[in-house]
Amino acid sequence: MIKNAVGLFVVWLVAALVARGVFGDLLAIGGVRPDLLALVLVYWSLAAGPVGGTIGGFLIGLIADAELARGLGVQAGLMSIAGFAVGQAGRHLIREHLVLQVAVLGVATLFIGIGRVIALVPFADGGSPLTAVPMLLGSALYTALLGPALYWLLCRIGFPDLLRHVHAEE
Amino acid sequence: MPSGRGGERREFVVLVVCLVASVLLFAFGGRLDTAWVIRVETALLWPAEETRRFFEDLTRLRGENRDLKEQVAKLGQERLLLLRAGAENERLRRTLDFAAPRAASVSPARVLAVFGEPWTLSYRISGGSRRGFRVGEAVVAPEGLIGRLSAVGPEESSVSLLSDPAVAVACQVIPGGARGIVRFRAEERPALYLFHVPLTDTVRVGDVVATSGESTLFPEGLPVGFVTRLGRDPNGLVQEIELRPAAPLTRLREVFVVIDSERLGPWQLPSAAEHATARADSARPDTARAASAARAAAGSRP
């Protein structure tokens, strides 16, 4: 069961990495891109719960840190917290509810984005982290809308409900 | 699914472990080589990246192909225009060479319209009585006689061509000197013929046929055509001499009305080389089409 869940996590992660690396430019709207790693983390955490979410967040964060080649551990920590929180929230919410997904995704993406900006972006010469807020809000909104839309689409075309699937295995 | 305090504790332990690991990585992970993660990711993305590039190239090539096709079409049109301009230039140069020394005796006119089916019978040309044109005057091209004015208006005139069966021209064969009447015969084998030449007169294929001094309408010595075939008239008394017009009647754009035949002067008759050129010219598709159309029309007559 765990093996299956891990396999599913790897598939989601690889899909997100491929989509981000190959179709990143196509997905951008007005320069705003969705945070696909945050999207995978949120759905994974909703499906797997706090423990799976924390570990998944840690691993995704490590990949993001390795890509950035500095501040190793920052995004791992941020995403661990986000994964834990979303896993906890998923226990008390109707996870299949699209509006709730929008809310959870938006908050989680914003949290990760703000943390990333504060911890990793150097604001020298009088610069302020506030300048990044519009971009973060745009990205969070985009991700929050894209995730439920994809979830709805996959369900509509007969794809097994991923949230229920992993949850049942747990 | 974990439940109860034990489960919750386990969840917090996992979180704390991950956070501690994160802090440790932040503090001491600077020395770790993380480039391999990028390499693995690049290897993972390679097939998808290549596929994307393939489709991008395909799209770009399609656009390029479309642009090139448009360019080829445009260049083809330009080439056609240039060819046309070149041909027009050549034609006008020849016309100028012909008209300049005869400026006092001929008046240039543009062919406005061509009439006649299945072969060309008449032209509508620019110029009329206001320029001194009169009915019956000879109309020529640099290659030779093409017909005469059959109607003259103030600004425009009509020319009955040699291919009109109503036009008859008194001619002679050069150098043999045999005399006869040139007229278009529409029956059986439609073509220009030189009629009334006795069997005893010597005529050879390739001889030039020009207007004779007996003509009251045309000045003497205008080339009319070339002998292309010799035969005997069905009644057996005279020769049947088929001619090809000296001037390309179907392709002329400019013609000249002979307004003063006295001052026209002697016409230089075409040489053997010019005859050969003219013969090759006559094999061009439009002439061949006109001839086959004429034959078809003649064949359909009762």
ipTM of the prediction greater than 0.85, yes or no: no
Provide the pLDDT confidence category of residue A124 given band limits of 50, 70 and 90.
Answer: low
Contacts of B23 in chain A (CB under 8 A): 73, 77
Contacts of A71 in chain B (CB under 8 A): 26
Contacts of A67 in chain B (CB under 8 A): 37-38, 41
Whether A49 sits inside 8 A of B2 (CB atoms) is yes
pLDDT of residue B268: 67
**Nearest-Cα residue of chain B relative to residue A66:** B34
Distance of alpha carbon A28 from alpha carbon A19, whole angstroms:
12
Q: Do residues A52 and A169 touch, judged by C-beta distance below 8 A?
A: no
Question: CB-based contact (8 Å) between B38 and chain A?
Answer: yes
Which among A55, A68, A14 has a CA at the least distance from the CA of B38? A68
List the CATH number of the domain containing A7: 1.10.1760
Q: Do residues B194 and B169 touch, judged by C-beta distance below 8 A?
A: no
* 3-state class (DSSP) for residue B1: coil
How big is the CA angle at B171 (ends B169 and B176), to the nearest 5 degrees? 165
- B1-42 tens-digit pLDDT: 455 667 778 888 999 999 999 999 888 887 788 888 888 888
Tokens of A24: 């990143």
* 3-state class (DSSP) for residue B172: strand
**Nearest-Cα residue of chain A relative to residue B52:** A22
Domain of residue A35: give its range: 2-169
Question: CB-based contact (8 Å) between A63 and chain B?
Answer: yes
Question: What CATH number belongs to B103-300?
Answer: 2.40.10.340
Report the first-to-last Cα separation within chain A, whole angstroms. 7
- B98-122 tens-digit pLDDT: 777 776 677 888 888 888 777 777 8
Distance of alpha carbon A81 from alpha carbon B111, whole angstroms:
93
- A69-116 tens-digit pLDDT: 778 889 999 999 999 999 999 888 887 888 899 999 999 999 999 888
Tokens of B302: 């009762």
- Is residue B292 scored above 60 in pLDDT? no
Q: What is the 3-state secondary structure (H, E, C) of B93-144?
A: HHHHHHHHHHCCCEEEEEEEEEECCCCCCEEEEECCHHHCCCCCCEEEECCE
Distance of alpha carbon B267 from alpha carbon A91, whole angstroms:
113
- Percentage with pLDDT > 70 across chain B: 83
Q: Name the residue among A23, A76, A167 with its Cβ closest to that of B25.
A: A76
Total domain count, chain A:
1
CA distance B90 to chain A (A): 58
* Length of chain B in terms of residues written: 302
Whether B26 sits inside 8 A of A77 (CB atoms) is yes
Whether A66 sits inside 8 A of B38 (CB atoms) is yes
B84 vs B270, higher pLDDT: B84
Domains in chain B: boundaries: 52-102, 103-300
Burial of A27 (0-12, 13-18, 19+ CB in 10 A): middle
Q: Name the residue among A22, A57, A81 with its Cβ closest to that of B52.
A: A22
Global pTM value = 0.52
- A132-144 tens-digit pLDDT: 788 889 999 999 9
Whether A58 sits inside 8 A of B18 (CB atoms) is yes
- Percentage with pLDDT > 90 across chain A: 38
pLDDT of residue A41: 93
Cross-strand bridge partners of residue B132: none
